[in-house]
Each structure stands twice: as C-alpha cells, then as structure tokens.
Amino acid sequence: MRDLAPQPSRPTTNWSIGLMRAPDIAGFATAATPSRPIISEHDLTALGGVMAADPFAIKVDGVWQVFFEMVTRHAPDGVIATACSRDLITWEPQGTVLDTGSHLSYPFVFEHQGGIFMMPESKRTREIAIYEATAFPRRWKHVRTIIRGRYFDASLVHYDNRFWLFAGCLSYGLRVFHAAHPLGPWRPHAWPFLRCYAPAAARPGGRPIVEEGRLIRFAQDNQSHYGHQLRAWHVTRLSPFWFAETPLLASPLLRPAGHGWNGRCMHHIDPHPLPEGGFVAFVDGCP
C-alpha cells in the first residue's frame, strides 16, 4: 500500500476488510456497504495485528481463504496474513503466511493449471515475484521473479488469449506487460506508460475482471488523499501495441461512507462471481 508519490501520509492502523454483494460490477456503486467489517484490528489482536488491507480471496474445497496485508505492533513493515470462512459470515484469522523481512502488501492470489500462486507487492526489493503454495494456505515458496523494478500493486488478468499485468510505477504512473504464461517471459507494452501522473486513474486497486466479454480494471482515485475512493475502467482496446479505456461509470465504484469503519477511505476491490448469480467482493476501508 505504500508509495513514493507525494501525498499525505496514511494512518498505519484502522484499515479493515469488508464484504459486499451486487448483481454485477457496476452495481457495487450503489450497493450498501456493511455496517461492520469482516476483519478488523480487533480480530487480529491475538496475532499482534493492528490493520488489515488489500484483500484477495480464493475458494478452495468449499472454503473461502482471504489473504491480506497485515501490519503488527511489533514491526513497521507489512506481512501477508490470511483468514478463512465457509459461509462468508464467520471468519477465522489464521496468522502470517508470508514474511520475507521486507514490506509486503497486495497479495494477488490466483489459480493456474491446478496450482495456487501469489504475487504480493514487494517493490522495496525492486521486483515482482510469484510464489506457489506448497501447503495451502500456510506455506509458500518463491518460484520466479518475473519483472525487475519498483512496481506496486501488480494485477493479473487473462484476456483475449493472453495474460496481462497492470502495475503502478513512479508517481501515479501505469505500465502494462503481457505474456503467454503467468511465469513469463513477460514483455512490456509498446507504450512505455499507459498513464502518466494520473492520481485518479493509474494505481491499480484490485483484481481486473472480464464481465460479459468486457475487461474491467480498477484504479485508486487519490485526488483528494491517499486511498480515498475507487474507480472502474472499461478497457476497450488492448493489444501489445494499443490501449484505450473509458470510465465504466461516471461516478466512483466505491466511495467512503463518511462514518464507521470505511468513513474516510475505500481503495480496493476483489470481485468474484457466485454460482447462483451476482458477485461478492472483498473491499477495504479506514475511518
């Protein structure tokens, strides 16, 4: 979650994770946010945690597993922790699953060809690295560093028979890479930057998704302050040589409630389609 861009410093505590439902992606703009989060600092007391943010979830053998950045009272740097649930109502924090000794956040978890992988933000070590679960969900091994550089919030999606990776860089810049396989080799887009100093449109804010053939990506809107709100973008043209997108909605997809656990910020979404229809999404916020 940390960035080099000039901005007011954010609080290191009180970020929490919530759960929302909507009939489609656009519906999250008008969906009611829950009055209480599913994971907050109070749920992490036994683990020494003081915040939970950047949730990414995966369902394995009927169990929802959500991974998130956790900062503890004992160290300033984030680690990756997890919590599980069978019913999306009762959640059990399970502790730290990845700690490299350097700040970690944004644990983008995904499945590919039967394996479960995680791509956490680790820009302090100047790399985008992928880990594979050896004993899910607690044990992970480093598989490959796919891209070198100070990138943050890297987000992966499979679209038009190719894997695409959106990554934030510099001060509110956006780069994209493409590959035939998540482990690469990855090639940069022909355009060096898809966005340059775009506080409302550059920094990735969650899992891109293909809904009814449309590629939708999410970007933090930090014009007011860091982590203020989230916007959705419909990518209308994407190839190794071209890129175009338009706002999915005129208004933000997620915005702070003005009070409560998400009163000041909402900057992340991880949406998942449900078998019965509609979507469930893991979001975060701070008061």
CA dihedral of residues 249, 208, 283, 226 (deg, nearest 10)? -70
Residue 53: give its domain's CATH number: 2.115.10.20
Question: Is residue 66 in some structural domain?
Answer: yes
121 within a domain of the structure (yes/no): yes
What SS3 class is residue 61? coil
- Looking at residue 171, what is its pLDDT? 86
Position 6 in a domain: no
Number of domains the chain is built from: 1
Largest CA distance in the chain: 50
Please check whether residue 11 lies inside any domain of the structure.
Answer: no
Parent domain of 180 = 16-285
From CA 15, how far away is CA 134, in angstroms rounded?
29
Phi and psi dihedrals of 27, rounded to 5?
Answer: -65, -15
DSSP state letter for 33: P
pLDDT at res. 4: 38
- From first to last of its 287 residues, the chain has per-residue pLDDT tens of 544 343 333 444 699 999 999 999 999 999 999 999 999 999 999 999 999 999 999 999 999 999 999 999 988 899 999 999 999 999 999 999 999 999 999 999 999 999 999 999 998 899 999 999 999 999 999 999 999 999 999 999 999 999 999 999 998 999 999 999 999 999 999 999 999 999 999 999 999 999 999 999 999 999 999 999 999 999 999 999 999 999 999 999 999 999 999 999 999 999 999 999 999 999 999 99
Q: Is the dihedral of CA 175, 218, 112, 124 positive or negative?
A: positive
pLDDT at 11: 42
What local confidence, expressed as pLDDT, does residue 5 receive?
40
Task: Determine contact, residues 195/166, Cβ cutoff 8 Å.
Answer: no
Q: 130-167 in b/e burial notation, b at 16+ Cβ within 10 A?
A: bbbbeebbeebeebeebbeebbbbbbbbebeeebbbbb
- Can you give 238-255 as a three-state secondary structure string? ECCCCEEEEECCCCCCEC
Instruction: Say how far apart CA 26 and CA 47 lie, in whole Å.
Output: 36
Q: What is the C-alpha to C-alpha distance for residues 176 and 168, in angstroms, rounded to an integer?
A: 9
pLDDT number for residue 76 = 85
Answer yes or no: is 99 within a domain: yes
Residue 7 lies in a domain: no
Q: How far is CA 175 from the centre of its chain?
A: 16
Q: What is the pLDDT of residue 75?
A: 86
- Entry pTM: 0.95
List C-alpha distances in Å: 104 to 48, 118, 129, 206.
Answer: 16, 12, 11, 16
Residue 8: inside a domain, yes or no? no
- Paired residues of 80 in beta bridges: 69, 98
What's the pLDDT at 137?
98
Residue 218 located in a structural domain: yes
